[in-house]
Each structure stands twice: as structure tokens, then as C-alpha cells.
């Protein structure tokens, strides 16, 4: 995660240029590139160099990269930043209200995994196109797992799925923000915008999760390996689905 010098987390909401940074992780180092012409190696630090960092309401004791890496990133981004790591000594829990007590999470917004489906993206793009707007790619929503489906929004009725013998609980729909309006390769916001369509057809009616929704936050209940092409089994349903506001879609 990248923070300011005081340890407060920084995202693409604040620095769209972060979209241009690509990361390849190895066992002891990270290879970072930016825009195709900048690259660096950051060593994964030992636990001795640490600082408290904040991500939303959480304070986490994180390992800090060396000065060489921090100075290089600061030069790339034009401000004083720190590269920090969630190592074996760091601790953070997801929301107990949605994920249950003691569910571990790292530096994600709030949950370990975001699941989206192909049929739902097609439905969203169909609404955009009906209104003379351009469609968007799945990368706009930054999912960890994309499921190939035939029926749009069926994930709203899933309480749990199984992939590779691992149970995944769909604990909370994902409220979307301005980051969906940003190109994930350039950082530009002068691109097609999915927010109008989500506002028309995916506006939550549940005050606990306000705003337009796309995708579900998911908590794995086991450890294992999953691969592209694995079959997915719905093992528990949410019969009532999720409540949405009815709006004029013309």
C-alpha cells in the first residue's frame, strides 16, 4: 500500500496516476513499473522498520520499504509517499457486522475478495448503450474473481458459493465510487462513465449500503488454490436478494 509520510493511505481517488503503476510480486521483492518507461525493484522489508498506517477506520502496524524505494516512488508521483507492507506481524479485521468476528483482511478497502459476473456487466453496458453512452470493461470494477454467467444479477441471490472446494460467503454488495469512472491503464477520467447506468438500475434501497452497487464483497472460509476455469457451485441462496430503488429508466 502507498501512504503519505504520516501513514495515511492513498488511493486512485486522490492520485489517479496510481493506475499507471503495475506490480509483479516475488518471494522477496516487488518489481514496479510506471507508464512503460519507469521501473524499480523494492525489497520486501524486514519487520524491524515499521510504522502505524491508517486505512479507513483501521490502524495497522505495517512494515516500511527502504528509503531508496520510497524516494523513487515519491519522485514518480510528485509527492512524499511511503511504500508499506502487510506482513506476518500486521493485523486487521473485516467488518464484524458483515463478515463475522475475527475475519482477517489486509490492505483492501474492507474485504478480501470482490466477485463480479459477466452477465451483469453485459446488462450494465446494455443500459448505457440504450442511453447513447459507451460501454465499459470489467477492469473498471477491479474484481479479484470474475464469474462467467448467463443471467444478470443472479449474484444478488447467492449467499455462498464453492470454488475449488473452498466456501466463499457473499457478505455485502459493493457500493461503487468515482474510481469506476477512471481508465485503469492511464488514470484518465475522460472516458466512458458507468455511474449513470448504475444509478438507473443498481441504486441500493438499503440504507446500510447506500449508493450504486456492482459486484459483491466476498469472504473465503478456507484455504486452497483456485484457477481460471474452475466450476462454481451455489451452495447457499439469499431468497430475498437485495433491495433496489425503482427509478425511471427511460
Residues 194 and 181: beta-carbon distance below 8 Å: yes
Q: Are residues 129 and 56 in the same domain?
A: no
Give CA–CA dist 92/55, Å, rounded.
10
- According to the model, what pLDDT value does residue 35 have? 83
Cell of 224: 486452497
Q: Are residues 108 and 35 in the same domain?
A: no
The answer, yes or no, to whether residue 243 has pLDDT greater than 90, is yes
Residues 109 and 231: beta-carbon distance below 8 Å: no
Q: Scanning the structure block, which residue is given the C-alpha cell 446488462?
A: 123
Q: Supply the range of the domain harboring residue 61.
A: 2-85
Q: Are residues 106 and 56 in the same domain?
A: no
**How confident is the model over 112-168, as pLDDT tens digits?**
999 999 999 999 999 999 999 999 999 999 999 999 999 999 999 999 999 999 999
Domain with residue 161: its CATH number is 2.40.33
The answer, yes or no, to whether residue 176 has pLDDT greater than 90, is yes
**How confident is the model over 54-91, as pLDDT tens digits?**
999 999 999 999 999 999 999 999 999 999 999 999 99
Question: CB within 8 A of 164, min separation 6: which ones?
Answer: 224, 225, 226, 227, 230
Q: Are residues 72 and 132 in the same domain?
A: no
Q: Are residues 14 and 58 in the same domain?
A: yes
Give CA–CA dist 77/68, Å, rounded.
14
Q: Are residues 48 and 103 in the same domain?
A: no
Least confident of 86-95, 108-117, 176-185, 241-250: 241-250
Q: For residue 12, is it within any domain?
A: yes
Q: For residue 189, is it within any domain?
A: yes
Total structural domains within the chain: 2
The answer, yes or no, to whether residue 184 has pLDDT greater than 80, is yes
Q: Are residues 218 and 101 in the same domain?
A: yes
- According to the model, what pLDDT value does residue 248 have? 61
Triad 24, 28, 34: Cα angle to 5° = 30
Cell of 198: 448504475
Q: For residue 178, is it within any domain?
A: yes
- According to the model, what pLDDT value does residue 205 have? 97
- According to the model, what pLDDT value does residue 113 have? 98
**How confident is the model over 222-232, as pLDDT tens digits?**
999 999 999 99
Q: Are residues 144 and 223 in the same domain?
A: yes
Q: For residue 205, is it within any domain?
A: yes
Q: Are residues 113 and 58 in the same domain?
A: no
- According to the model, what pLDDT value does residue 36 have? 78
- According to the model, what pLDDT value does residue 212 have? 98
**How confident is the model over 12-67, as pLDDT tens digits?**
999 999 999 999 999 899 999 998 789 999 998 876 799 999 999 999 999 999 99
Amino acid at each position: 500500500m502507498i501512504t503519505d509520510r504520516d501513514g495515511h493511505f492513498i488511493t486512485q481517488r486522490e492520485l489517479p496516476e496510481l493506475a499507471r503503476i503495475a506490480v509483479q510480486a516475488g518471494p522477496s521483492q516487488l518489481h514496479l513499473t510506471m507508464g512503460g518507461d519507469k521501473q524499480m525493484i523494492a525489497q520486501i522489508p524486514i519487520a524491524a522498520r515499521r510504522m502505524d498506517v491508517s486505512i479507513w477506520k483501521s490502524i495497522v502496524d505495517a512494515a516500511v520499504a527502504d528509503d531508496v524505494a520510497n524516494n523513487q516512488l515519491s519522485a514518480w508521483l510528485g509527492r512524499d509517499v511511503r511504500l508499506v507492507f502487510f506482513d506476518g506481524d500486521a493485523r486487521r479485521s473485516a467488518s464484524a457486522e458483515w463478515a463475522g468476528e475475527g475475519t482477517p483482511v489486509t490492505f483492501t478497502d474492507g474485504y478480501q475478495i470482490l466477485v463480479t459476473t459477466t452477465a451483469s456487466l453485459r446488462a450494465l453496458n446494455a443500459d448505457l448503450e440504450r442511453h447513447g453512452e459507451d460501454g465499459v470493461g470489467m477492469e473498471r470494477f477491479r474484481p479479484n474473481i470474475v464469474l462467467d454467467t448467463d443471467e444478470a444479477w443472479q449474484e444478488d441471490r447467492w449467499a455462498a458459493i464453492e470454488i475449488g472446494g473452498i466456501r466463499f460467503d457473499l457478505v455485502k454488495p459493493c457500493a461503487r465510487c468515482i474510481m469506476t469512472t477512471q481508465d485503469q491503464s492511464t488514470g484518465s477520467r475522460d472516458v466512458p462513465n458507468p455511474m449513470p447506468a448504475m444509478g438507473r438500475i443498481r441504486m441500493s434501497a438499503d440504507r446500510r449500503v447506500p449508493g450504486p452497487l456492482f459486484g459483491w464483497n466476498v469472504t473465503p472460509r478456507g484455504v486452497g488454490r483456485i484457477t481460471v476455469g474452475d466450476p462454481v457451485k451455489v451452495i447457499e441462496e439469499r431468497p430475498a436478494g437485495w433491495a433496489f430503488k425503482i427509478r425511471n429508466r427511460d
